[in-house]
Amino acid sequence: MELSKTIIGLEVHIELRTKSKMFCSCSADHFGVEPNTQTCPVCLGLPGALPVPNEKAIKDTIVIGLSLGSTIPKSTWFDRKNYFYPDLPKGYQISQYKNPLCVGGSLELDSGKKIGITRAHLEEDTAKLQHATISGEEVSLIDFNRSGVPLVEIVSEPVLSTSDEAKEYLEKLQQLVRYLGVSDADMEKGSMRCEPNVNIEIKESGKLYRTPITELKNINSFRFAKRAIDYEVQRQFEEFKEKREEMTPGNKQTRGWDETKGITVLQRQKEEAKDYRYFPEPDIPPIVWTDEDLKSFATRIKEIELPKEKRQRFLREYSLSDYQARILTDLKEQAEYYEASVRAGKEKGVSPLEIANVVINKRAGKDLSPEELVEFIAREKEIKEVPEEEINSLIEKYLEENPDIVRSFKEGKPQALGKIIGLVKKELGVIVSADKIASLIK
């Protein structure tokens, strides 16, 4: 019996960084806010309240879809997904079932492998539940500030075949939405969440068997995702050896990742099979895009340089190595900083490559402006251009001429060396460190 294949599909949820919630005008910025201070009749699910969709959230979802190469269907609508849970105030989630905003597309890994995207749709987030013991009583506490925050669900095809691929897919997706500026996509804060669906194919005496699919929950970092998948692959293999259970339409299970124990734990199954009773949301008129709408979406996405495009341009324009281009384009802000520095460097004769080296090796101070960075590099270059011996002999000469400085230094006043630094700078135009001067004091 051997493991012939691992099959992973990823469901990723991303909270959009809109100002207001998906269906009401409450603030969507809920992180670290006092509980239940950002609610209204709509997101609290009070009787009689009605949802009105946030246009920006819809357009941001489309931008995500287009950046993944999705098709944008002309006709789409919201559906109600009906189920009961205390974090779901209306007893249904407004989501999309039959006609999502974005269909198809792919995300390319470094290996060149394209991971197919099934769909990307828009829905509303649930409230936040926390569990507590209050005067001996086990209770759950609900905060509705998160209720109704726009949430995009991106579903991949089950074509990822290693936990490393899964991790890379997640990193790339995070990078992409951050580039688009539509989400913080922070796993720890929960503005990006992932649920890997995992099963394996086992080969035995020429026959292939597939194990039941497991949906993994409670994963709040990319590292956890990788570890949980690795664990689950082993567990399923062992379980199959023992029980020989194969995948059927009804035996998918949900397991939670326990980071401290490093294992996945079976989560309690609901008694009733899930039956979400989807039907078109009657409170929200459907969405129909005109050709002009679709054209304007395409224009918007063309104006945004995606990570891969930027990387390729960096390679081309700045003669960087693949490694350098990758690091510099990892974060959009970093890439923008680099390019601003390159522009500033042009006048001072500092090359893009020199700037890349300093930025990547973090040699310069953290908070330098692009101009200051270029200045720093230029100075550094000058130091290198004056022979070491010349500097040393000059320092020695000044030390001899200024015995009071040497004396002060020896009495424990290193700041006295500042005068020498000034004299050297004046003479040679280079800045020497106090340590260097100290090393020359006999």
Partner 1 sequence: MDSLYQLSILEAKEGIKKGSFSREELVKSVLSRIEEVEPKLNSFVSVNKEAVKDARKKDQEKEDKALSGIPVAIKEVLSTIDIKTTASSRVLENYYPAYDATVVAKLKENGAILIGKTNCDAFAFGASTENSGFGVSKNPYDLERVPGGSSGGSASAVAAGETIFALGTDTGGSIRQPASFCSITGLKPTYGACSRYGLLAMASSLDCPGPMTKTAEDAETVFNLIKGKDPKDATSVDFPEKKLQTGKIRIGLPKEYFSDGIDKEVKEAVLKAVKSFPEKDFEFTYVSLPNTGYAIEVYYIITPSEISSNMARYDGIRFGKERKYFEDEVKRRIMLGTYTLSAGYIDQFYLKASKVRRLITNDLENAFKKVDLIIGPVSPTPPFKIGEKTDDPLKMYLGDILTASANLAGIPGISVPCGFADKGLPIGMQIMGPRFSEELIFFVSKTFQTLTNWHKARPKI
Partner 2 sequence: MPKQVLTEKEVKHIGKLSNLELSEKETQKFSAELTDILDFVENLSAVDTGETPALSNINEKTNVFREDEVRPGLTQKQALKNAKEAHKGFFKVPAILKE
Closest distance between partner 2 and the C-beta of residue 281, in Å? 9
- Tell me whether residue 19 or residue 407 sits nearer to partner 2 (CB atom): 19
Longest dimension (CA), the chain: 92
Q: What's the closest the beta carbon of residue 20 comes to partner 2, in angstroms?
A: 5
Single-letter code of the amino acid located at 313: R
**Which is closer to partner 1, CB of 142 or CB of 247?**
142
Number of shown-chain residues binding partner 1 (CB under 8 A)? 27
Nearer Cβ to partner 2, position 134 or 442?
A: 134
Which of 64, 161, 51 minimizes the C-alpha distance to 120?
Answer: 64
- Rounded to whole angstroms, the Cα distance separating 420 from 410 reads 15
Task: Give the three-class secondary structure for 27.
Answer: strand
Task: Pick the stretch among 42-50, 159-167, 184-192, 242-250 that binds partner 1 (CB under 8 A).
Answer: 42-50
Which residues, including other chains, have CB under 8 Å from residue 408's CB and lie 6 or more apart? 416
Separation between Cα atoms, residue 236 and residue 4, nearest integer Å: 13
Token code pair at residue 413: 């006043």
Q: Which amino acid is at 292?
A: E
Query: CA 378 to CA 371: how far, in whole Å?
Result: 11
- Which of residues 6 and 96 has its CB atom nearest to partner 2 in the complex? 96
Compute the distance between CA of residue 341 and CA of residue 363 in angstroms, rounded to an integer.
Answer: 14
Binding site for partner 2 (CB under 8 A): 18-20, 24-27, 34-41, 43-44, 52-58, 84-86, 91, 129-131, 134, 138-144, 217, 254, 256, 267-268, 271-272, 275, 277, 279-280, 282, 284-288
Residue number with CB closer to partner 2 (25 or 251): 25
Nearer to partner 1, 86 or 414 (CB): 86
One character per residue 282-321, x = contact with partner 1 (rule: CB under 8 A): xxxx------------------------------------
The DSSP H or E segment spanning 257 is strand 253-258
Smallest gap from residue 80 Cβ to partner 1 (A): 5
Least distance CB 158 / partner 1 (angstroms): 23
Phi, psi for residue 100 in degrees, rounded to 5: -70, 165
Shortest gap between Cβ of 23 and partner 2 (angstroms)?
8
Beta carbon nearer to partner 2, 21 or 310? 21
Cβ-proximal residues to 175 (8 Å cutoff; 6+ apart), any chain: 307, 330, 331
The verdict on 50 binding partner 1 (CB under 8 A) reads yes
Q: Which window, 229-237, 259-267, 271-279, 347-355, contacts partner 1 (CB under 8 A)?
A: 271-279
> Which two tokens mark 43?
């997101």
Which one of the spans 84-92, 210-218, 230-238, 239-247 is the region binding partner 1 (CB under 8 A)? 84-92
Closest CA to 16 of 54, 70, 67: 54
User: Could you tell which of partner 1, partner 2, none binds residue 49, using a CB distance below 5 to 8 A set by kind?
Assistant: partner 1
Among partner 2, partner 1, none, the one that 34 touches (CB under a kind-dependent 5 to 8 A) is: partner 2
Q: According to CB under 8 A, which one of 279, 296, 336, 388 is a site residue for partner 1? A: 279
Q: Which is nearer to partner 1, 89 or 100 (CB)?
A: 89
Q: Which of residues 383-422 bind partner 1 (CB under 8 A)?
A: none
Map the footprint of partner 1 across residues 127-146, applying CB under 8 A: 142
Residue number, 40 or 159, with CB nearest to partner 2: 40
In the complex with partner 2, which residue's Cβ is closer, 31 or 85? 85
Q: Up-side HSE of residue 168: CA atoms within 13 Å toward CB?
A: 15
Nearest approach in angstroms of CB 40 to partner 1 is: 8
On whether the CB atoms of residues 318 and 342 are closer than 8 A, the answer is yes
* Token pair in block for residue 402: 């200024």
73 binds, among partner 2, partner 1, none (CB under 5 to 8 A by kind): none
CA distance 388 to 380: 13
Residues 6+ apart with CB under 8 A from 260: none
| Residue whose structure tokens are 């394996």 | 200
**What Cα–Cα distance (Å) separates residue 354 from each residue in 129, 349, 358, 362?**
51, 10, 6, 12
Partner that binds at residue 50, options partner 2, partner 1, none, CB closer than 5 to 8 Å by kind: partner 1
Candidate list 1, 33, 46, 139; residue touching partner 1; CB under 8 A:
46
Torsion of CA 245, 247, 248, 251, to 10 degrees: 70
Backbone angles phi, psi at 367, to 5 degrees: -100, 25
Q: Give the footprint of partner 1 on this chain (CB under 8 A).
A: 41, 44-53, 80, 82, 84, 86, 89-92, 142, 275, 277, 279, 282-285
